[in-house]
């Protein structure tokens, strides 16, 4: 098989994956808390080929492959919503929640709610860790920038502290595995969660009544889309040229 056909095919496959990633970014441009994805490439293994009477060995590449599909955790714009249970993180950090299977997952914030047991949870029903009981009759819930949660019950004039929302960070956020729904899980690359209080030790601060916008920039994605399309077209032209060369060699004896 002509090596150019295989090499160009790997280029087409890689650029298709790049376009898929860009399409997902554009689809979520208005999704609160969404972090854009980025496809990274690497050249494939090189093979040694015998060349010339002197026995010189040349190294020929085998194309391109996907090195990683990672999330870019640049901060999005904080937008005021005036909804008391909207919560964003201004700076570094994640909120720990209990996923459906009982394990820990991590979120950049979003809209909170009070579940049927009176615990603070995400809109999808994932309870915050550690559990913060605010009660089903809470008249007012205040979340301070340092993570303390103050609750004023119905019929009461003073608020009492119900608990504290701590934050976590990771040594390498690129290694986090996206689960959907603004949730992430650590991997071997990201390392274990590092716990801390909001506003201390490099952690961000909590912002009640605000939502973090997507960090997708339309202009950057459109430029990336055009570059991926042109690269894909170039690989197609290589395949066409290689096919024409094979056709010419097949017709030599005609």
181 and 195 share one domain: yes
Model confidence pLDDT, tens digit, residues 77-98: 999 998 999 999 999 999 999 9
85 and 151 share one domain: yes
230 and 158 share one domain: no
Three-state DSSP at 17 gives helix
189 and 131 share one domain: yes
Quick count: other Cβ atoms within 10 Å of Cβ 132? 23
Mean pLDDT of 116-138: 90
44 and 111 share one domain: no
205 and 246 share one domain: no
Model confidence pLDDT, tens digit, residues 203-242: 999 999 999 999 999 999 999 999 999 999 999 999 999 8
114 and 203 share one domain: yes
Instruction: State the residue range of the domain holding 16.
Output: 3-73+216-250
Position 1 pLDDT exceeds 60: no
Phi and psi at residue 17, to the nearest 5°: -65, -35
Name which of 105, 42, 40, 99 is nearest 72 in CA terms.
Answer: 40
100 and 174 share one domain: yes
Model confidence pLDDT, tens digit, residues 164-207: 999 999 999 988 998 888 899 999 989 999 999 999 988 999 99
200 and 228 share one domain: no
171 and 208 share one domain: yes
31 and 156 share one domain: no
The predicted structure's pLDDT at residue 247:
85
The number of domains in the chain is 2
Indicate the pairing of strand 94-98 with strand 78-80.
unpaired
155 and 241 share one domain: no
The predicted structure's pLDDT at residue 163:
92
DSSP 8-state class, residue 119: B
Position 58 pLDDT exceeds 70: yes
Name which of 110, 133, 132, 131 is nearest 122 in CA terms.
Answer: 110
């Amino acid at each position: 098989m002509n090596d150019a056909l295989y090499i160009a095919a790997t280029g087409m496959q890689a650029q298709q994956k790049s376009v898929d990633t860009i399409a997902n970014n554009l689809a979520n441009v208005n999704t609160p808390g969404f972090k854009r994805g980025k496809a990274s490439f690497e050249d494939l293994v090189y093979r040694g080929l015998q060349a010339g009477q002197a026995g010189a060995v040349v190294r020929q590449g085998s194309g391109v492959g996907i090195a990683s599909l990672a999330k870019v955790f640049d901060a999005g714009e904080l937008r005021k919503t005036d909804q008391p249970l909207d919560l964003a993180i201004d700076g570094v950090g994640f909120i720990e929640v209990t996923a459906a299977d009982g394990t820990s997952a991590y979120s950049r914030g979003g809209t909170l709610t009070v579940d049927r047991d009176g615990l603070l949870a995400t809109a999808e029903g994932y309870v915050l860790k550690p559990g913060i009981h605010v009660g089903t009759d809470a008249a007012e819930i205040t979340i301070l920038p340092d993570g303390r949660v103050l609750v004023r019950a119905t019929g009461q004039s003073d608020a009492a502290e119900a608990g504290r929302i701590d934050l976590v960070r990771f040594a390498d956020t690129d290694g986090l595995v996206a689960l959907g729904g603004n949730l992430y899980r650590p991997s071997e690359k990201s390392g274990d969660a590092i716990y801390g209080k909001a506003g201390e030790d490099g952690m961000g601060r909590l912002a009640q009544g605000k939502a973090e916008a997507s960090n997708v920039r339309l202009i950057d994605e459109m430029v990336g889309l055009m570059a991926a399309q042109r690269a894909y077209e170039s690989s197609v032209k290589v395949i066409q040229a290689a096919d024409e060369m094979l056709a010419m060699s097949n017709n030599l004896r005609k």
